[in-house]
Structure 1
Amino acid sequence: MRRSDRKRRDPDLGVLSSRLLFAVQEELFDTLAQQGHDQLRPQHGAVLAYLDPEGSRAVELALRSGQHKQVVGKLIDELEALGYLERRPDPADRRAKLVVPTTRGLDQMSRSDAILARIDERYAEALGADRYANFKQTLAEVTERQRAWRTGLPPEPA
């Protein structure tokens, strides 16, 4: 039996999670493009998905997303050039910079939240609210345990 046949019949956690990620990203970014945010790419989610509306430090975005600081820095540069965010002095520490969403960035964040809420609603309806809530809770726990295993830190509560 070829390995690809086995993966189709009994996909492992990596295959399943990547299929889910890519399908959700495709719907999210296609819908955002239809709503006027056509310059965004899925890679930008490593910043936008973790950005606080009041701003975040780049190092926090790297930690939250699990990306290297250099990758996050490049994405911040791109998003700043596209008008989605700006760097400002951090009022808590003038030596540090905050990455703050612009009006365009806040619009994208709001639209993304609405699109992802519709996806959640669709699956809650298709699978049943309790079953879908259990799935999300289990997926969150598996994800946190995997991240904890990779970092050596104890898992955070789901």
Structure 2
Amino acid sequence: MRRSERKQLDPDLGVLTGRLLFAVQDELFDTLARQGHPDLRPQHGAVLAYLDTEGSRATELARHSGQHKQVVGKLIDELETLGYVQRRPDPADRRAKLVVPTALGRDQMTRSDAILAAMDHRHAEAAGAASYTEFKRLLRQITRRQRAWREDEPTGD
């Protein structure tokens, strides 16, 4: 059996999560575009998905999203140009900057939350509420373990 056939019949964790991620992003960003946010791209989610309404530091956004600081900085620049965020001095540390959503950014955040809640509701109805809750619990657990894989590697000491 060819590898591509095997991946279709019995997809591994990477293929399954990739398919899920791209399908969620497609629906989310297509819906956002129809609701007045046509310039956003899935890459912007590395910032927007983790941005607090009160503002977040770029280093926090990079840590939460798993992206390099340089990538997050470029995305922040793009979102600032598009009018979704602005940089402000952090009141807790004037040397640091906070990335703060603008009114346009807050509108996008509210709409994204509603779109994702509708997806959750739709999948919970299809799978059953208890099964969907268990699926999300297991997915969170697997994600935590996978993100921590480097910590579990033997050090060779």
> Which bracket does the TM-score occupy, shorter chain normalised?
over 0.9
Matched position secondary structure for 1:17: helix
Report what 1:128 is aligned to.
128
* Correspondences of 1:7-156 after superposition (within 5 Å): 7-150=7-150, 152=151
Cα distance in 2 for partners of 1:101, 1:137 equals: 30
Aligned sequence identity (%): 76
TM-score calculated relative to the size of structure 2: 0.96
Count of matched residue pairs: 152
One-letter identity of the residue aligned with 2:75? L
**Structure 2, unpaired ranges of 5+:** 153-157
**Structure 1, unpaired ranges of 5+:** 154-158
Deviation of 1:127 after TM superposition, in Å, equals 0.4
Cα distance in 1 for partners of 2:141, 2:79 equals: 31
Deviation of 1:5 after TM superposition, in Å, equals 0.3
Matched position secondary structure for 2:39: coil
One-letter identity of the residue aligned with 1:97? K
One-letter identity of the residue aligned with 2:6? R
Cα distance in 1 for partners of 2:14, 2:143 equals: 11
Cα distance in 2 for partners of 1:96, 1:32 equals: 31
What CA RMSD, in Å, does the superposition of the two structures yield over aligned residues? 0.7
Provide, for residues 100-123 of structure 1, a one-character-per-residue CA deviation record: whole Å limited to 9, x for no partner: 000000000000000000000000
TM-score calculated relative to the size of structure 1: 0.95
Matched position secondary structure for 1:96: strand
Deviation of 1:89 after TM superposition, in Å, equals 0.2
Provide, for residues 129-158 of structure 1, a one-character-per-residue CA deviation record: whole Å limited to 9, x for no partner: 0000000010011001100113x28xxxxx
Cα distance in 1 for partners of 2:125, 2:140 equals: 20
Matched position secondary structure for 1:116: helix
Deviation of 1:46 after TM superposition, in Å, equals 0.2
Matched position secondary structure for 1:37: coil
Cα distance in 2 for partners of 1:144, 1:48 equals: 21
Cα distance in 2 for partners of 1:13, 1:127 equals: 20
Deviation of 1:12 after TM superposition, in Å, equals 0.1
Provide, for residues 63-99 of structure 1, a one-character-per-residue CA deviation record: whole Å limited to 9, x for no partner: 0000000000000000000000000000000000000
Matched position secondary structure for 1:50: coil
